[in-house]
Homo-oligomer: A and B are copies of this chain.
Amino acid sequence: MPTPADDCARSVLDAVPLVMREIRAEMRSHRGLDLSVPQFRALAFLRRRPAASLSDLAAHIGTSLPSMSKLVNGLVGRGLVERDTSAADRRRLTLRLTREGTSLLQAARAETQTHLSRSLGRLSPEEQAVVTRALGILSSLFGQEGRT
């Protein structure tokens, strides 16, 4: 007999990959903005935590240091992030959004959110409220930091 938590797990397992695919396709589709989900999340984190180190970023995004090193490398290459060695501890990096990074993040977020909003607009207000609440719950449950 499945417990309520089992049913819940099943619905998470069914729905999350579907929604993720939607988000990914949407983010990829904007010419010029064109960010992967991890890139988007990294930029969002750096906006919240200017001067974060690579380790901070990797920990909060939940990925390995080498992965994050490569990802950041790409963002630096695109001029979206500035990478300096910390004066206090020269092993550490100091990561910051550039002006371009900031504005691209904002534009990408607006586009993606607008698109998602349009889809979610097909739900009733009550359904929207349920979804908002549920995903807030999941964010606190699984999030190292929550708020993007």
Contact = CB atoms under 8 A, between A and B. Distances in A.
Given A131-B134, A134-B130, A117 B8 contact: yes
A16 to B, nearest CB: 5
Nearest to A136: B11
Copies of this chain present:
2
Interface stretch (A79-87, A99-107, A137-145): A137-145
Interface in A121-148: 121-123, 125, 127-139, 141-143, 146-148
Chain A interface helix/strand/loop/mixed: helix
B138 A13 contact: no
A14 B40 CA distance: 11
A14 B146 CA distance: 7
A71 interface: no
Interface of A: 3-23, 25, 37-38, 41, 62, 109, 112-114, 116-123, 125, 127-139, 141-143, 146-148
